[in-house]
Structure 1
């Protein structure tokens, strides 16, 4: 295991993770019937906990792009969900400054019976945009998504590709300070993915703080200068992204 490197930020922090631990309940029962039978007999249903994150701490400076890396089940996505506010830590504190938008579950706020147009306004509101802000960006959102005349069609009739393009386009056009990205650049075909990558780079150049989770070494090297490696819930490296990628690939 590599020695941990403590990375300090030059700019004021937009994200602070301070001694954070997160555990999930893991029940050792195979069925409701088994649990009910145990309850009738007065036996306790044994439940174990799985530690997803174990006392991790780091800061992300304003305008900085940082990759969170690790093998499957290491705690990467849990970290993003804690920063987004979807989850709360069991121990420690998570602080963010400014408006945070997460490309974690893209399209989670879309309603299938509403049109694309109605869903743009609904999802933008969920992501914290005012109607005025959405009005100003609406044409740009639709143009970026390449939905065209289908914007007034019910979303339930969209192909999966159309749905994801529109959902991504809404999220990427939110007026934000912190962007959380979790493996979403797999949406659409190669030209659309390239356009998404360019848009995210544009946001970083505008000074948006970014926390990125991806299995793509090329993508994290392209977007980030700093990499954090998590192994079995513990932070084991925080430093230059090339070294983080090298450490991960050596495992």
Structure 2
């Protein structure tokens, strides 16, 4: 395929939570007890070229994370087509991979299994990961003792060592300081040599400017604009 990611006429929707919609008051007002359906994307199309880091911005609730989840195959679409040209690694939050009650080495082993990263997980490898992430902790440290920023550094460093073709990052840099962002930008540029592409979602325009070749802003369920 000519693009690393090809999205054509994507239709994506979900039903709002039960607590928001299933109420006797709503039934009295509308005569309807069915949950409300939220349309996230409607006939949405996007092409992401090879060797490209693309940034995505937009207001809260516009569908940025949902788009990454759909690309990763974690959120089923109602219609349309999504094609990817290789193995996808989605970092859409740390909770779905890291286990707070396990130590760092066990969490890296869990990551290795979850994403088929083909790491040779031993003490030397884990120590190297921690050093590169700037974490002055032991492999036996329980994960819950790490701050959100430290977990983000760990996740990012593991992603940089993985064998994925397409990398999807959702607010991974949100808790990092400027030094972390600068180092991450350098690593991303180096990593791109072995990637088909990467997509970064962030509310911080500086993160996108520092890391991305192209930035788009999602405007509506069916439209976006280039902003750089």
Fold match (TM-score > 0.5): yes
TM-score (norm 1): 0.77
Paired residue total: 224
Match in the other structure for 1:70: 58
Aligned equivalents of 1:78, 1:97: Cα separation in 2: 20
**In structure 2, how many angstroms separate the alpha carbons of the residues matched to 1:72 and 1:173?**
31
Corresponding residue for 1:170?
158
- Say yes or no: does 1:58 pair with 2:38: no
Alignment partner, residue 21 of structure 1: 11
Question: Where do 5+ consecutive residues of structure 1 fail to align?
Answer: 1-10, 239-243, 246-251
Superposed, which structure 2 residues align to 1:57-206 within 5 Å?
Answer: 57-132=45-120, 134=121, 138-206=126-194
Q: Distance in 2 between matches of 1:189 and 1:65?
A: 21
Paired position in structure 2 for 1:219: 207
Q: Structure 1: how far apart are the matches of 2:57 and 2:102?
A: 37
Question: What's the TM-score, normalizing by structure 2?
Answer: 0.83
Alpha-carbon RMSD: 2.8
Query: Structure 2: any 5+ residue segments left out of the alignment?
Result: none
- Structure 1 segments of 4+ aligned residues over 6 angstroms from their partners: none
Residues 30 and 56 (structure 1 numbering): CA distance in 2 closer, same or farther, change over 3 Å?
closer
1:191-226, Cα deviation, whole Å (9 max, x unpaired): 223222221222224444111222233332332232
